[in-house]
């Protein structure tokens, strides 16, 4: 509104404000009518003091720490269910060896009720009367008759058919039908494994041929229907395969499958006996054994000596001994250092979940001590006999005790590591649940502690108490660790749980690193 006043002198109307002042007034009015200015530097929110200290909204919380927003009524039960499923899976896995043992016992009992299945068919009536005769084959490996009587059944399999047919034609003189001892079981998985391993490209042609023939002859001994004589492979053929053409493969099969699959050559009849009995030849003057590989002539055959026999070159054996000694010293030193730091920084190291690393370190120190002692005096601690096969079949008390300790602590240490990773995973990926139930950390710690102590026990008890599993025995040659002798128990009670726990832990670690990066 323009304001004027009248001048008394010249009677003219003069404006109170100039044009410039009018513009300034209009500009000030327009600015006042506008919205208040937005601050260019908004106030910075105060960060929480702790890593898990925050206040989620009442209606929604962040589920899994990285997923979309979900109602708390859904998220919290899901967090509890996932946590319980993980713990339940770990507990169930500990009873896998027991379940396998029970299932094998049931299958064995059921198969023993039916002996007519598989590749064996009982011979009805009298066998074809072809008559038995002494072996006149040029190759003494063809086999000889033992003094045992047998009941013949017809072999209709295909795996060993060619070997058995040639053997029967030469040793007994029959060309139609293959008759073997009915007391023999069906072809086991161990025998199939040996025959398949012999077909490997790394096996020499000489070992492949002689080894396959011997395994078939030993697994399916011939039976003469007329005389009832059982024909076994000769002791000389056994020595030829086990100490010359297939010495490394023979010992590897024993270490993996146990002694029951392959025989003790001294128990087989010899072609040097005039009455076809199993008396022992005591003359070693005509036998040359590979002493550099740990073999010695004993009662007419080359036998591996405990403490001297090695499955690899002396240089590699020495390298293995030195590296294991260095690794043992380093691991024990690091373990002692960690324990000292744990005592100094006990408030941090003995808190949940860091305390699992302390448990794992204690187990590492215990294993290092036993390995160190084993390296210093292997022969006296692990060799119950000068004969290696005898020592393998009858392990020392020290081998059994340390085998149980190694079995327990290998699995126990892996459990501590896995529990530590899962606990960190739980705090990172379930932050709301972890914060709201922080007072239950002690309870979770006690539950995991009990699981870590109890889970390895079933497999150890099975190995020590069930005769079928034959306790623990030497692992490698030379060996500083004893393991479950039975391959099934070794797999289900040791190797499988270790691999599963390592897989779970690594999977959780990947998610943890991904979450921290986000």
Instruction: Identify the DSSP state of 9.
Output: T
- Copy the structure tokens of residue 270: 């010899």
Mean pLDDT split into 10-residue runs, the chain, 518 residues:
46 55 57 52 50 43 44 64 71 69 63 39 36 39 52 72 76 67 60 80 82 84 72 82 82 74 79 43 57 71 75 74 87 91 88 90 91 84 82 85 92 92 86 79 88 90 83 75 83 88 88 82
> Is the CA virtual torsion 438, 444, 445, 446 positive or negative?
positive
The per-residue pLDDT for 90 is 66
The per-residue pLDDT for 421 is 92
The per-residue pLDDT for 137 is 45
- Is 133:173 a contact under the CB 8 Å cutoff? yes
- Is 410:460 a contact under the CB 8 Å cutoff? no
- Copy the structure tokens of residue 284: 């070693």
The per-residue pLDDT for 22 is 61
**DSSP letter string, 272-313:** T-TT---PPP---TT----GGGTEEEETTEEEEBTTT--SS-
- List the alpha helices (DSSP H) in 116-242: 161-171, 189-197, 205-219, 235-240
Give the gyration radius of the chain's Cα atoms.
39
CA–CA separation, 11 and 5 (whole Å): 9
pTM, rounded to two decimals: 0.55
Helix (H, G, I), strand (E, B) or coil at 231: strand
Residue ranges of domains in the chain, CATH in brackets: 122-271 (1.10.2000), 313-517 (1.20.1070.10)
Residue 400's CB is within 10 A of a number of other CB atoms, namely: 17
Residue with tokens 């513009």: 23
The per-residue pLDDT for 217 is 82
């Amino acid at each position: 509104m323009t304001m004027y006043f009248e001048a008394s002198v010249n009677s003219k109307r003069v404006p109170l404000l100039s044009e410039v002042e009018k513009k300034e007034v209009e500009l000030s009015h327009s600015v006042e009518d506008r919205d208040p200015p937005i601050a260019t530097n908004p106030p910075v929110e105060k960060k929480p003091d702790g890593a898990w200290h925050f206040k989620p909204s009442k209606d929604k919380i962040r589920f899994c720490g990285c997923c979309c927003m979900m109602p708390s009524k859904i998220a919290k039960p899901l967090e509890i269910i996932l946590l319980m499923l993980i713990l339940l899976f770990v507990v169930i896995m500990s009873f896998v060896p027991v379940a396998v043992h029970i299932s094998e016992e049931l299958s064995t009992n059921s198969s023993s009720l039916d002996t007519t299945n598989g590749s064996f068919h009982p011979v009805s009536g009298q066998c074809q009367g072809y008559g038995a005769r002494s072996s006149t084959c040029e190759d003494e490996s063809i086999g000889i008759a033992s003094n045992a009587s047998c009941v013949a059944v017809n072999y209709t399999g295909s795996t060993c058919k060619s070997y058995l047919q040639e053997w029967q034609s030469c040793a007994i003189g029959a060309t139609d039908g293959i008759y073997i001892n009915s007391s023999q079981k069906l072809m086991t998985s161990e025998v199939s494994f040996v025959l398949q391993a012999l077909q490997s490209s790394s096996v020499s042609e000489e070992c492949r041929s002689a080894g396959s023939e011997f395994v078939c002859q030993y697994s399916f001994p011939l039976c003469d229907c007329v005389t009832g004589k059982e024909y076994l492979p000769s002791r000389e053929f056994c020595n030829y395969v086990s100490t010359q053409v297939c010495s490394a493969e023979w010992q590897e099969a024993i270490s993996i499958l146990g002694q029951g699959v392959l025989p003790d050559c001294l128990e087989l009849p010899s072609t040097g006996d005039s009455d076809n009995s199993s008396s022992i030849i005591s003359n070693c003057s005509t036998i040359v054994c590979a002493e550099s590989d740990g073999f010695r002539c004993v009662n007419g055959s080359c036998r591996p000596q405990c403490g001297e026999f090695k499955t690899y070159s002396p240089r590699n054996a020495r390298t293995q001994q030195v590296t294991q000694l260095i690794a043992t010293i380093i691991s024990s030193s690091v373990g002692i250092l960690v324990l000292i730091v744990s005592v100094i920084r006990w408030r941090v190291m003995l808190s949940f979940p860091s305390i699992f690393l302390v448990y794992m370190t204690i187990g590492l120190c215990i294993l290092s001590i036993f390995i160190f002692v084993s390296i210093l005096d292997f022969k006296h601690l692990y060799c119950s006999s000068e004969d290696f096969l005898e020592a393998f079949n009858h392990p020392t008390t020290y081998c059994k005790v340390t085998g149980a300790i190694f079995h327990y602590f290998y699995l126990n240490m892996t459990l501590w590591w896995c529990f530590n990773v899962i606990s960190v995973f739980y705090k990172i990926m379930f932050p709301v649940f972890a914060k709201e139930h922080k007072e239950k950390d002690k309870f979770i710690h006690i539950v995991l502690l009990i699981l870590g102590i109890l889970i390895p026990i079933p497999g150890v008890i099975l190995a020590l108490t069930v005769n079928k599993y034959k306790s623990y025995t030497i692992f490698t040659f030379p060996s500083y660790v004893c393991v479950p002798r039975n391959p099934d128990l070794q797999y289900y009670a040791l190797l499988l749980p270790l691999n599963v726990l390592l897989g779970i832990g690594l999977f959780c670690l990947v998610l943890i690193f991904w979450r921290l990066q986000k």
